Amino acid sequence: MRNTALPTLLAAGLAAAAITTSAQALAYGEGDFFTRVGAAHVNPKSDNGTLDGGIDVDVDSDTTLGFTLGYRFHDKLGVELLAALPFEHDISLADGAIDASTKHLPPTLTLQYYPLGGTDSQFQPYAGVGLNYTTFFSEEVDIDGVDLDLDDSWGLAGQLGLDVLLDDNWALNAAAWYIDIDTDASLSGIGEMGTVNIDPWAFMAGISYRF
């Protein structure tokens, strides 16, 4: 009886140790650096404003490669910087009478809250608030002899995301940001024409790696 009980207790102890080790390995928390990489899609709101002269503006969406770098300075708190390859947007003016385009980079820094941080939960949701800076470049408009200029933008951003942990380093990730992006538009020879309200939702889906 005793000979049977000892291996049983040993096996139970090893199983408990394995579970504890796994939980500790999967627990994301204080001191972790991480990066997230995936397909990033920027979808501007449907009504992007009206320029002087009643010129309606419509900004199309675009998809490119996005990536982030973050750090958890507390089990439940961290910071993350969003970056991406340049987005390129087609712009329709005056109901398609005038075509334009621009490229932009929208780095966004957020302070994040992880309600399940420091636990062994496989699902790690998070929310964040922060600041966005968007710089526009390579603006073009199909009017001979006229150049389009879009001013850089500063605005607030909100974020929701989820990591689904696969092991102690890798996870699947999905995240969404709402970003306040407003830019003043100018045409050479005419001057400032008004404000373009882009205010997009940005979505990213991909993988996460913890250092």
Copy the structure tokens of residue 208: 């996460």
Q: Report how far residue 159's alpha carbon sits from residue 197's, in angstroms, rounded to the nearest whole number.
A: 19
pLDDT in tens, 42-81: 999 888 888 887 888 999 999 999 999 999 999 999 999 9
Predicted pLDDT of residue 67: 96
* DSSP 8-state code for residue 117: T
pTM: 0.82
**Res. 10: pLDDT tops 70:** no
pLDDT at residue 3 above 50?
no
Higher pLDDT, 27 or 102: 102
d(CA 110, CA 130): 4
Give the integer Cα–Cα distance in Å for 186 and 155: 20
| CATH class in words for 2-210 | mainly beta
Model pLDDT for residues 97-140, shown as the tens digit of each residue: 889 999 999 999 999 999 998 888 999 999 999 999 999 999 99
pLDDT value, residue 26? 59
For residues 72, 207, 123 and 131, what is the CA-based torsion angle, rounded to 10 degrees? 50
List, for residues 148-193, the tens digit of each pLDDT value. 999 999 999 999 999 999 998 999 999 999 999 999 999 887 788 8
What residues contact residue 143 under an 8 Å CB cut-off, 6+ apart?
98, 187
Contacts for 133 with CB less than 8 Å, ≥ 6 apart: 106, 107, 108, 152, 153, 154
User: Residue 146: which of 193, 101, 187, 92 has the closest Cα?
Assistant: 187
